[in-house]
Amino acid sequence: MKKAAAIVTNRGGRTCHAAIIARELGIPAVVGCGDATERMKDGEKVTVSCAEGDTGYVYADMLDFSVKSSSVDTMPELPLKVMMNVGNPDRAFDFACLPNEGVGLARLEFIINRMIGVHPRALLEFDDQDAALQKRHS
């Protein structure tokens, strides 16, 4: 998924695994499209847009677009707290640059897997692991 420019699935919703991971990676995803993957051909170029609100769209061919940017300094203050979902420690510093009130959800299983590379239980029971595993993680 990290190499994908966009994700389109036949099934799923905004809380499905593909949608959650796509949001975390900043990749546009349109899920629950019915027969979309049967209708698209391998190598066909499409534009996947999630900029129109809650509903994403898959357009035939490559569409022209323009990028508009705004300074966070000129944005109005929100009447609510924006909390971040962090599951990728490599992106945590990127998220820290955005206006936010803190971390609402830390996906520790992703963070531990990415940073430590071993299941926490294996660390707790290190002496019970076989010699090859102990050597690999010492």
Amino acid, res. 58: V
| Identified catalytic residue from 10, 11, 13, 17 | 17
Kindly report the three-state secondary structure assignment for every residue of 91-129. Answer: HHHHHHCCCCCCEEEECHHHHHHHHCCCCHHHHHCHHHC
137 is catalytic: no
Torsion of CA 30, 32, 34, 35, to 10 degrees: 40
Q: What DSSP character marks residue 132?
A: H
- For residue 88, give the nearest of 62, 66, 114 by alpha carbon: 114
H-run or E-run covering 25: helix 17-25
Q: Distance (Å, rounded) from C-alpha 99 to C-alpha 97?
A: 7
Q: What DSSP character marks residue 10?
A: S
- Active-site residue set: 17
